[in-house]
Amino acid sequence: MDLDAVVDELYRLAPGDFTAIRDERARTARADGDRQLAERIRRLRRPTLAAWASNLLVREQPEEAERLLRLGAALRQAHRDLDGEQLRELSARQHQLTFALSGQAGRLAAEAGQRISDEVRQEVQDTLHAVLADPETAAQWAEGQLTKPLRLPAGFPTPLPGPEQAPAPRRRTRPAKEVADLDAARARRQEQQARLDRARQQAADAERELHAREGELAAVEEEGRRAEAGEQQAEQRVGELSRRLQEARRDQRRARDAAREARDRSGEAERAVREARRRAEEATARVHKLTERQTNDP
């Protein structure tokens, strides 16, 4: 099993399928004896929905991704050259392209069975703006392995307006009711933006919490695997000791039988010795008696 192949497989999956497949691949690597690969796979993070859609765009639309990368290089060069005319032209293309690509990402996600909300599509578009701003961010995006959406680097200049944009009209005095309506609408937009910011923060917190819990789960699973391995080793040891005990008991029984048989043969031998001694003594006595009789006869 190869890590690059596993990474490529996982980051093509919808976020909902990521964790189960990742853990399955980690278990397979561990079963194959590659604990280091299993740990590296286990540490791969599940992408957010926006990150997955961004990855999908890179993988499914490589030509469009290349267009964005080339535009980013041109924009950064124009900023370095302080070329206002070039910046205005490229800025207009930037807005058009990032809007179009974020829409394509939404369509690709829907075709893959996962519709994304306007908020998620905006996160994709923010990621594309970040890609235009920074070459390292662009290289990271081009790998198609994002785990979270990207943000525009701090200090990056705001793109200049395109030439098709008309200058802002002079302000005119509005009636009090119109002003009040505008203030109310502005307040509603601010409240909506505040709710959106809170929702995004809650989503980010939930994502961090999920990653932390995934890490805890992986640690518990690893501890469980070690415990299972220890249990198997102990069972094998018990089985081996039980087998040896049974063999020792069989050897003990055979030794007892052999000792009993030896004692029986020893007893028989002793009895045979006593009988032989008795017969020898009787024969010796007869010899003496016959000898004395022969001596006493005239």
For the segment 280-297, what is each residue's pLDDT rounded down to a tens digit? Answer: 888 888 888 888 888 877
Asked, for residue 68, whether it belongs to a domain, the answer is yes
The 10s digit of each residue's pLDDT in 171-191 is 344 455 555 665 676 677 667
Residue 247 lies in a domain: yes
Q: Is residue 201 part of a domain?
A: yes
Q: Is the pLDDT of residue 101 over 90?
A: yes
DSSP conformational letter for 284: H
- C-alpha count within 13 angstroms, C-beta hemisphere, residue 59: 19
Amino acid (1-letter code) at residue 242: S
Residue 179 identity: V
Co-location of 112 and 219 in the same domain: no
pLDDT score, position 94: 85
Total domains in the chain come to 2
Arithmetic mean of pLDDT, 213-225: 72
Token readout for 207 is: 């994502």
* Residue 212, pLDDT score: 66
With 90 as the cut, is the pLDDT of residue 27 above it? yes
Residues 135 and 229 in one domain: no
Which pLDDT does position 120 carry in this prediction? 92
pLDDT of residue 123: 93
Q: Which residue has the higher pLDDT, 137 or 298?
A: 137
Write out the residue range of the structural domain in which residue 65 sits.
47-164
Alpha-carbon distance 130 to 123, whole Å?
10
- Please check whether residue 42 lies inside any domain of the structure: no
How high does pLDDT run on average in the chain?
A: 81
Same-domain status, 52 and 157 = yes
Is the model's pTM score more than 0.75?
Answer: no
Nearest CA to 98 out of 142, 129, 56 is that of 129
Indicate if the pLDDT at residue 129 is higher than 70.
yes
Please report whether residue 183 resides in a domain: no
Indicate whether 200 and 297 sit together in one domain: yes
Please report whether residue 182 resides in a domain: no
pLDDT at 1: 76
Name the CA dihedral angle for 211, 48, 115, 106, rounded to a multiple of 10 degrees: -170
Long-range pairs of 200-209 with CB within 8 A, sequence gap ≥ 24: 200/119, 203/48, 207/48, 207/148
**Within-domain flag for 27:** no
pLDDT for position 86: 79
pLDDT digits (tens, 9 = 90+) for 43-56: 999 999 999 999 99
Residue 33 in any domain: the answer is no
Nearest CA-CA partner of 159 in 76, 93, 87, 73: 87
Domain boundary (106, 140, 164) is at: 164
Is pLDDT larger for residue 108 or for residue 226? Answer: 108
Output 204 or 277, whichever has higher pLDDT.
277
The yes-or-no verdict on residue 167 having pLDDT over 50 is no
